[in-house]
Amino acid sequence: MNGVHMSTSHAQRAIPEARGEEHAAVPYLRRLQQIALIRWWMRDGEWGYTTIVAQYLRRDDEFWYLLVSGAPARLPREEWAIFS
């Protein structure tokens, strides 16, 4: 998938089984919808960012569950936000 800008060391590969309907549904996000997420960071006093384009699976209070280039990934919600 084009547009993926991410270090794979930040994506954890194991995705737990879904529990029935989405656990914490986001009304405007649909399963397998392509979304963009952003993570801000500071290095040497300068702000930078990393973006990722992935397919949305679901989220819970702690993680985004996604498909990145067809591979499952889990990203911490406290670090990654929807980028529009």
Burial of 80 (0-12, 13-18, 19+ CB in 10 A): buried
Burial of 51 (0-12, 13-18, 19+ CB in 10 A): middle
pLDDT of res. 13 = 47
Domain boundaries, the chain: 29-82
Which of 15, 61, 53 shows the shortest CA–CA distance to 37?
53
pLDDT 10s digits, 14-61: 444 544 444 445 568 999 999 999 999 999 999 999 999 999 999 999
* Class of domain 29-82 as given by CATH: mainly beta
> Average pLDDT for residues 62-78, to the nearest whole number?
97
pLDDT of res. 66 = 98
> For the chain, how far is it from start to end, CA to CA, in angstroms?
18
pLDDT of res. 7 = 39
pLDDT category, 84, cuts 50, 70, 90?
Answer: confident
